[in-house]
Amino acid sequence: ESSALTLKIATLSPDGSGWMTKMRAGAGEVDKRTQGRVQFKFYTGGTMGNDRSVLSKIKIGQLQGGAVTAGSLTDFNRDVQIYAMPLKFKNFNEVDAVRGKMDSMLSRSLEQGGMVNFGFAEAGFAYAMSKTGPISSVAELRKHKVWIPENDPQSAEALKAFQVSPIPLSLADVLPGLQTGIVDTVASSPIGALALQWHTQVRYVTELPLSYIVGVLAIDQKAFAKIDPADQAVVREVMTRVFREIDKQNRQDNLAAWEALQKQGIKAVRPSSQEVEEWEKDAQIAGERIVKAGIVSPQVMQVLEENLKQLRSGRKQ
């Protein structure tokens, strides 16, 4: 008897991407199972503006949610960007183990901050990609014109620790920036590099995961509360499953994208173990700076470190 409710969701990712196809399928299922009482309407490709504008529009009630990177939801809970801490994870095994322990806690914190969500989906590891020369060491990185996203205090602190003076550009300006040489080094997941056409410009990619990025479908709690509880359960069930699928799919897509990058002639650069140690030493300093600046909480940072320590000592035994 309750009337139909439409959840308007905005995202930067383009229509037709694997991510969107799965979300639309999920929305279709919700529509069917709630007999049309809950509907999703998606605004793709950034037509509602960047993540900042999307969040403003959620606050004022034009939109009910957004599919955004975790880093843009720090207004609701600063710790959702904990996985993006520099050089925390060495490989996907570590990611999977740590996420198994921390995902539900972060998801709950985000709910408490006012954003209903259905878990996290992997966007991938960000790697340093360079146009002008291979970057195997931190010293080499310092010689490059490194892009940094605007309004990203976490990356800013990290690059300060690496003693790099980065060049801030908005996402839309990165491709022309690479073309014109305003920047020559970017960090991106393999999928991202292909989707944004950055792969047409860069020639080297450093085989060292700099940070780990996740995406979230965040829905305003007030809007979600208007849905009938039974229907809420349906939305949660379906979208949680969809997000798990996207999570898996993106892992495959990123591996395929990595292969595609190699096929395009982009050279993989592997730092020596001594160079990796240097990277990690600076990353440690960066982590301390980020905590000190209050960008993430010391408690959650400690949980992450504990998890990693356990994992690594467990493997050595």
Taking CB under 8 A as the rule, does residue 199 contact another protein?
Answer: no
Give exposure, 68-86, as e/b (b: 16+ Cβ within 10 Å): bbbbbbbebbbbbbbbbbb
Q: What is the nearest approach in angstroms of another protein to the Cβ of residue 175?
A: 7
Give the helix, strand, coil percentages of the chain, each rounded to 5: 55, 20, 25
Taking CB under 8 A as the rule, does residue 165 contact another protein?
Answer: yes
Taking CB under 8 A as the rule, does residue 294 contact another protein?
Answer: no
For residues 236 and 242, give the distance between their C-alpha atoms in angstroms, rounded to a whole number. Answer: 10
Which segment (118-126, 159-167, 252-260, 265-273) binds another protein by CB under 8 A? 159-167
Name the phi and psi angles at 149, rounded to 5.
-65, 150
Q: What is the nearest approach in angstroms of another protein to the Cβ of residue 164?
A: 9
Residue 72 vs 254, nearer CB to another protein: 72
- CB-CB contact of 78 with 296 (8 Å): yes
Residue in 1, 3, 35, 60 binding another protein, rule: CB under 8 A: 60
Residue 33 CB burial class (10 angstroms; 0-12, 13-18, ≥19): middle
At 292, the amino acid letter reads K
Residue 44 vs 307, nearer CB to another protein: 44
Name the phi and psi angles at 42, rounded to 5.
-105, 140
Q: What is the nearest approach in angstroms of another protein to the Cβ of residue 201?
A: 11
Taking CB under 8 A as the rule, does residue 57 contact another protein?
Answer: yes
Q: Cα 64 vs. chain centroid, distance in angstroms?
A: 20
Q: Cα 159 vs. chain centroid, distance in angstroms?
A: 18
Residue in 151, 221, 232, 297 binding another protein, rule: CB under 8 A: 151
Taking CB under 8 A as the rule, does residue 156 contact another protein?
Answer: yes
Residue 177 vs 209, nearer CB to another protein: 177
Taking CB under 8 A as the rule, does residue 173 contact another protein?
Answer: yes
Instruction: State the DSSP code for 79.
Output: G
For residues 155 and 286, give the distance between their C-alpha atoms in angstroms, rounded to a whole number. Answer: 9
Structure tokens at 278: 């240097």
Taking CB under 8 A as the rule, does residue 49 contact another protein?
Answer: yes
Q: Count the residues of the shown chain that bind another protein, applying the rule CB under 8 A.
A: 41
Which segment (18-26, 59-67, 267-275, 302-310) binds another protein by CB under 8 A? 59-67
For residues 129 and 31, give the distance between their C-alpha atoms in angstroms, rounded to a whole number. Answer: 42
Taking CB under 8 A as the rule, does residue 96 contact another protein?
Answer: no
Which segment (46-54, 210-218, 240-248, 256-264) binds another protein by CB under 8 A? 46-54
Contacts (CB under 8 A) with another protein, residues 208-267? none
Element (H, E) at 69: strand 65-69
Taking CB under 8 A as the rule, does residue 176 contact another protein?
Answer: yes
Interface positions with another protein (CB under 8 A) = 8, 14-15, 43-45, 47-50, 52-53, 56-57, 59-62, 75, 144-145, 148, 150-151, 153, 156, 165-170, 172-173, 175-177, 179-182
